[in-house]
Structures are given as C-alpha cells and as structure tokens.
Amino acid sequence: MSSTLTPLQQLMFSLIEIWQSSGQSQKSFCLEKDLAYGKFHYWWKKYQEYRSPSSSDSFVAVRVKKASTLETVPTGVLELVFPDGRRLIFNQDVEAGFLKTLLG
C-alpha cells in the first residue's frame, strides 16, 4: 500500500484485503470481527476507488465452479455472487449476451 495513506486507511484497507482472501460474505466477516457492516461497506467503496480510480474500462472476472462443487440454489438456475457478497439469482435460463450486458 502507498505511504500516502493515513494509518486509518491502511488499517481499513488491510481489513478489506483480509476479507477478500477469507471467502466469507461481508456480513459474516463483519460479525466475526465485531465491525459495523455500514462502516465496512463505506471502506469497501473507498478501497475500490483507491484501487481503480475513475476507470471506465472495468473488467468483471467470472469464475465457473465445477458441477461437483456447486452450491445448491433452491429456486434458481443461475446464481452470480459478487465480491462484496451480493447475490443475484436467475430463475430461468439466461443468455450469455444478457450477462455480458449486465456485467459490462
């Protein structure tokens, strides 16, 4: 991290990086660390701005899990899990072009 960050920014950005490698949702991470979810979300936005300032050409990585490791989605055909823990469940088949537009 840059030396231009304040100690508070360094601390919070370090927590964000720990969360990213934890595989947990934001909410479960916050509960475990006794950190207010609103505060964490504020710093997550700041971290994203710091890591990619005003980038209009953003890329969204998509990982496809093998069938044997897929989690059961009770009502959906397709589930997208975003890095911040949000989930988007589609209850019908979705065309690749639609996903590309949605994630673009």
32 occurs within a structural domain? yes
pLDDT in tens, 20-78: 999 899 899 999 999 999 999 899 888 888 887 654 455 566 666 655 555 554 555 77
Instruction: Report the C-alpha gap between 68 and 76 in whole angstroms.
Output: 17
Burial of 69 (0-12, 13-18, 19+ CB in 10 A): exposed
30 occurs within a structural domain? yes
pTM given for the model: 0.49
Query: Do 47 and 71 lie in a common domain?
Result: no
The number of distinct structural domains making up the chain is: 2
